[in-house]
């Protein structure tokens, strides 16, 4: 099963396709992933106001196979990949994504 959602901030597929991304992780990290989507972030919020010239960053979302989570946990950090729940629950960055997206992608923890 694929239940651990990850965020790769500031990354886009570009000319690659989801299958190539999945093959990259399998070949280079021995980790099975399933591409989920790409999202442009919303602006940062300070004192209840949108911060000008922020937002619009492209983030890739993918799931890690449950059996591969432990071996992926540390190597992912070198690439800036974060667990979804760390982004929206523990680091209070939910404002970067629409409520609709957050509701459609609940945290597992």
pLDDT at res. 12 = 95
Q: Domains in the chain, please, with CATH?
A: 2-104 (3.30.70)
Cα–Cα distance, 39 to 42 (Å, whole number)? 9
Cross-strand pairs, 82:
7
pLDDT tens figures, 9-33: 999 999 999 999 999 999 999 999 9
pLDDT < 50 regions, the chain: none
Q: What is the pLDDT of residue 34?
A: 98
pLDDT for the residue numbered 48 = 87
Please give the sequence-ordered ranges of beta strands (E in DSSP) within 1-107, or none if there are none: 2-8, 33-40, 45-46, 49-50, 58-65, 82-83
């Amino acid at each position: 099963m694929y239940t651990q959602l990850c965020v790769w901030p500031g990354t886009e597929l570009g000319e690659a396709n989801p299958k190539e991304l999945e093959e990259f992780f399998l070949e280079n990290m021995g980790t099975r992933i399933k591409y989920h989507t790409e999202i442009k972030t919303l602006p940062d919020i300070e004192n209840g106001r949108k911060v000008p010239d922020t937002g619009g960053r492209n983030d890739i979302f993918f799931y890690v196979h449950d059996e591969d989570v432990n071996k992926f946990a540390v190597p992912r950090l070198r690439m800036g990949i974060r667990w979804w729940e760390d982004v929206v629950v523990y680091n209070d960055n939910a404002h970067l994504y629409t409520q609709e997206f957050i509701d459609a992608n609940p945290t597992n923890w």
